[in-house]
Structure 1
Amino acid sequence: MNGTRVLIIDDEPMVRSSLAIFLEDIGCHVLQAGHGSQGLDIFFRDRPDLVLTDLRMPILDGFGVVERLAAEAPEIPVIVVSGIGNIREAIHAMHLGAWDYISKPLEELEELEITARRVLERARLLKENSDYRLRLEDLVSQRTRQLAESEQRFHQLFLQHDDAILLCRGGKLEIFEMNRAACTLFGYTGRELIQGGLPLVIAPEELPMVSAGLAGLSDGDIFLREQISAITKDGSRLTVSIKGWRVVYDGTVMHYCSMRDMGAKIRAQQEARLAHSRLIQANKMSSLGLLVSGMAHEINNPNNFIGVNAALLQDIWGDMRPLLTEQGRDQGITLGGLALDDAAETGAGLIAGIIRGSERIAAVVKGLKDFSRKDPAGLEGVIDIRRVISDARTILDHHIQARTDHFEIDCSDDLPSVRGSQQQIEQVLINLLINALQALPDRSRGVRVSASHDEPASEVLLAVNDQGCGMEADTLSKLTEPFFSTRISEGGTGLGLTISSTIIRDHGGTLSFLSEPGTGTVATVRLPAERP
């Protein structure tokens, strides 16, 4: 960050000042503006390396700043500052071209430094990549035009390129020459590639499109596909990009085909989408925590009133019962249509029911508050698996009662504790239980939760076994992939098991599934047991 020029655009002087002091302390040169219009003037005059802008401002707001800079200076990273409750505004700003966002008030200014370093590194890499591609394409074009005089230099670049490069000729796309990267990517020797031609490595369903695209090229045209399926020697499928154009090599017109493995890029995009979705989910959980806390307060007050008064009423009724019974025998008095003997017994039962109901309400509210409250211990707490199961059972009691008549819990007596976040493991169990309950076709099918100690492996096993519809092998293999869900039409996000798998992995454990159609599913969590 030393020497980085940062432009802060915010209509609140105190916010600008505190951010400027922090950034100057870590070596930045800071420029300041009180609104968007002033900020743009300073930007186009001084060209800073990074822009930090508020969204809500007079004259020209942060959305206008982001849109203008995205159009005229897309290479300069822009970080927007959004209020904690305005996550949608931040997302909208990112759609307009913002690189990242932070929420205010900032509890830790180090978050700003981390975010700034991240976007600056991304800008540097994008510039390097852009410069590299421009240089490469310029060089290839130049070599194509000057092939007659500089064939040796072109040939050296061809062989040393990191992308897989194939020179093809003829309508059958025979491979004339390839570089070492092509042999490495597809697993074939050079002789095998020459014998098999381009059809050897392009998936059959993609070959007609690639063949037609290359055949239709004229001088100066480029054939480009960002993602197509390719096949390696061992039969594995790769997702590659292909870029091709016509060249004259040794007096013959050929197709220069450059291919790049896109697997890493696709995984990075998925991880970015998942990280963004987890951020949104975390914000939802934070809002839920505030909502639950407020609801708990509103419910607990009248419930405490009910519980205390019901207990007092139970004592009063107990003292009155002998008098009511005696009077009922002598005078034949009835209460609510019941003889006093029966009324005395019924009243006691009703009061006991009120007390049990009040205790039940208190338990459910406590479970919800515990689940939504931030876990101060992080991953260093001590987890009681029995309590995790009990709390999850309490929170999901309504769902369980609505879905099945057969819900079982089986915990071993010698169950050791586990190190980590009790709240996160409870979140995983709740996800697994909801999935299990939703898989049941009717109330006659059941769900069983078990916990045991695998002493040889020094692990605690937590299993959820349902008698639901089960899954095909293809579905089973995709369960923890981001955004994969069999219940998208019912509101599923495809993130529950992905996040659960990440949580278990962070705890040093594993999450696995066994399932067959019609026989149900077993989800098993294995966590390292705490040493005595």
Structure 2
Amino acid sequence: MSSQSPHPPQPPQSPPFSPPGATPSHGRPTCVLSVEDDPVIRQSIAAWLADEGYEVIEAEDGIAALRAVREQRPDVVLLDLGIPGISGDAVLERMAQESPDLPVVVVSGRAEIGDAINAFKLGAWDYITKPILNMNMLGLTVRNCLERRRLRERLAAMESRYSGLVRNLPVVVFSLDDALELTFVNEACRSVLGWTPEQALLEPGWFMDNVFHEDRERVRAAFSGAFAANTPFSLEFRIITPRGVPLFVQARSTAVASPDLTRGMPGRIEGVLIDLSRRVFLERLLVQREKLNTLGALVDEIAHEFRNPVFALAGFARTLHRKFPDAREAEVVLEEAARLEALINRVQQYLAPVDVVPRPCSLAAVLDFAADLLHAPLQRKGVTLRVEASADLPPVQSDPDLLAQVVVGMAGVAVEHGVPGSETVLRCRDLGRGQLVEVLLRTESPLAHDAELSLMPFGDQQGPQPLAVSYKLARDLSCLLHVRREPDGLLLMLAVPVDPNDVADLLAEE
């Protein structure tokens, strides 16, 4: 990374950055219950959390812990499995049964993978081994659990909204005959699906032609089965928008009439199509966070178990190489041991906490910095880069150095996968509650069916995928990186919110 850094002037009226223990939505500081029988460890954890701005409750055994959960309702629980009286496993299971939405982080001296897996089965949200060598990792774990809880609450609220307020939502009302030809659609077709009612009604075969190709047989079977059984149904599938992007929808029938051959009456299905894209987006986001947290809980133990035999094999191979310098086998073992050691280091570096230094910064300056850094490699690739960012954009409270790394990683995809002769657009828009950085590029090869997989680490045999590092840095900045397929390329979006709690909403609304 260049030593240059986009540091704009710092306006005095910028909003303060929220500390880790900032007051949550229920109006009081975030409360953490620490369950630990060793008073020295318990008090040291409590003191560190208090310094971070959290309200801390302490319990030395399982009975006190359960009582504290029922009476004081903490936001997060740190649970030692080796507590006296009721076993830690039993306390964990009881907490999961009584308060399934309460994040419980196991802090245990048991370092076996089997213990961690069993804890997750009993309802743990994360797993940390003692002694805790890096308290910042504990703080990161607590923040991750709080974020996952907020996502779950939002997802539950949306499910309730779709089931209880469906009549008041803008939905597509449709009617199909038994040949699956559209006979009626309301004006909401334009705002929800992107197609005008005239396009949908006048084009023969419009409905099935615009169902996503991987869903067509399932949709055809469901609608045909409804005609045969003359029963209502509900089905989730994807429909293609005019931009060629799949949109998740749910079809609910309100009336089904089978064909009447004796009277020459065609069959008819009347129903509604509901846009589920926002709910699906939040579900994917929650799954990603849980995958990353599970990986983080196990990686230290896995690295420890792998590193010792790798070192032993490397030492043995070096001895063989000294005795038999012409033996190719010893060189192969040394090469493979070095490759495994590098992979272990990449895993640990990827999951290590990042020091964030927030200050007022200009995203326009960050984009210009990234463009300057990528100018030469993109020019060699034959890709031009156009930046669209107004200098009047209000400053955001973030770390400009880390933001620059994220944006360089996003636009840098064009260096590896851009089409020579094409243009990559790097732009920034103000959405009121935050700003949205977008990178739109054409790609040389077809994209995977699920573009979101490019954000997950270790998707191939060569280590972390390039965007996975940008995604992880974005999460450390309380931002969110999202990937979406376009008809002939890729759209990468980075949401930089004013309030970190609004980050999912910024992208879901897009």
Q: What TM-score, normalized by structure 1, do the two folds share?
A: 0.49
Distance 1:365 1:76 in 2: 47
Indicate yes or no: 2:337 matched with 1:368: yes
Q: Report the counterpart of residue 497 of structure 1 in structure 2.
A: 461
The 1:50/1:179 distance shift into structure 2, 3 A limit, reads: farther
Q: Report the counterpart of residue 141 of structure 2 in structure 1.
A: 115
What pairs with 1:325-474 in structure 2 (closer than 5 Å)?
A: 354=323, 356=325, 368=337, 372=341
- From 276, 296, 309, the counterpart of 1:260: 276
Distance 1:110 1:265 in 2: 27
Distance 2:187 2:44 in 1: 55
SS of structure 2 residue aligned to 1:57:
coil
Q: Report the counterpart of residue 47 of structure 1 in structure 2.
A: 73
SS of structure 2 residue aligned to 1:499:
coil
- From 292, 297, 315, the counterpart of 1:275: 292
**One-letter code of the match for 2:302?**
K
Q: Report the counterpart of residue 128 of structure 1 in structure 2.
A: 154
Distance 1:101 1:71 in 2: 18
**One-letter code of the match for 1:99?**
W
CA contact (8 A) 1:481 1:498 kept: no
What pairs with 1:148-187 in structure 2 (closer than 5 Å)?
A: 157-159=168-170, 165-168=172-175, 172=180, 174=182, 176-178=184-186, 180=188, 182-183=189-190, 186-187=193-194
CA contact (8 A) 1:231 1:238 kept: yes
Indicate yes or no: 2:240 matched with 1:231: yes
CA contact (8 A) 1:166 1:256 kept: yes
**Percent identity of paired positions between Structure 1 and Structure 2:** 23
Q: Report the counterpart of residue 128 of structure 2 in structure 1.
A: 102
**One-letter code of the match for 1:256?**
V
SS of structure 2 residue aligned to 1:51:
strand
Distance 1:158 1:355 in 2: 76
Distance 2:154 2:186 in 1: 26
CA contact (8 A) 1:480 1:497 kept: no
Q: Report the counterpart of residue 207 of structure 1 in structure 2.
A: 219
For the aligned residue pairs, the C-alpha RMSD in angstroms reads 4.8
1:379-413 deviation digits (Å, cap 9, x = unpaired) = 9xxxxxxxxxxxxxxxxxxxxxxxxxxxxxxxxxx
SS of structure 1 residue aligned to 2:217:
coil
CA contact (8 A) 2:313 2:333 kept: no
Shift of 1:108: 1.8
SS of structure 2 residue aligned to 1:130:
helix
Would you say how many aligned residue pairs link Structure 1 and Structure 2? 327
CA contact (8 A) 2:36 2:60 kept: yes
**One-letter code of the match for 1:205?**
E
Structure 1 segments unaligned to the other structure (5+ residues)? 144-156, 308-353, 380-474, 485-492, 507-532
Distance 1:101 1:108 in 2: 14
Shift of 1:98: 2.2
**One-letter code of the match for 1:275?**
L
Distance 2:349 2:99 in 1: 41
The 1:101/1:502 distance shift into structure 2, 3 A limit, reads: farther
Structure 2 segments unaligned to the other structure (5+ residues)? 1-20, 23-28, 257-267, 351-444, 471-510
Shift of 1:34: 2.2
Indicate yes or no: 2:99 matched with 1:73: yes
CA contact (8 A) 2:81 2:107 kept: yes
CA contact (8 A) 1:10 1:35 kept: yes
CA contact (8 A) 1:7 1:50 kept: yes
Shift of 1:272: 4.6
Distance 1:356 1:109 in 2: 47
The 1:476/1:244 distance shift into structure 2, 3 A limit, reads: closer
CA contact (8 A) 1:168 1:176 kept: yes
Q: What TM-score, normalized by structure 2, do the two folds share?
A: 0.51
Shift of 1:84: 7.4
CA contact (8 A) 1:158 1:165 kept: no
Shift of 1:21: 1.0
Shift of 1:367: 7.8
The 1:37/1:176 distance shift into structure 2, 3 A limit, reads: farther
Indicate yes or no: 2:64 matched with 1:38: yes
Looking at secondary structure, tell me which structure has more helix per residue. 1
